[in-house]
Amino acid sequence: MNGAHDLGGMHGFGPINPEVDEPVFHEEWERRAFAITLAMGSHCKWNLDMSRYARESMEPAEYLSTSYYEHWIHGLELLLLEKGFLTEDEIQQRMSDIAAQEKT
């Protein structure tokens, strides 16, 4: 697969400035996204390659403008839908619930 994720050797993206003593997770939701992705793997409905493919299937502009763990959420959502663990309506309902909680 050749896509936005495959930047090896490309020029023009600016310098890489690693964060000194960068934590693995910057926010709690990142830790949860990673943990849920790994936990769902225990259902054996997909493998590591399928999980990576799902993460890397994002549209290029979205992939380049989102964070590492947003890629993980994207891939997990695709796999959960594809394998019948969730429906699009259930995801949208949960997104609405979270948005409503944030307003209060």
pLDDT at residue 15, rounded to an integer: 79
pLDDT at residue 12, rounded to an integer: 72
Count of CB atoms situated within 10 Å of the CB of 54: 22
pLDDT at residue 5, rounded to an integer: 56
What domains are there in the chain, each with its CATH number? 28-103 (1.10.472.20)
Question: What is the rounded (10 degree) CA torsion for 17, 13, 4, 71?
Answer: 30
Say if residues 5 and 63 touch (Cβ distance below 8 Å). Answer: yes
One digit per residue, pLDDT tens: the chain, 104 residues? 556 655 555 567 677 788 899 999 999 999 999 999 999 999 999 999 999 999 999 998 899 899 999 999 999 999 999 999 999 999 999 999 999 998 88
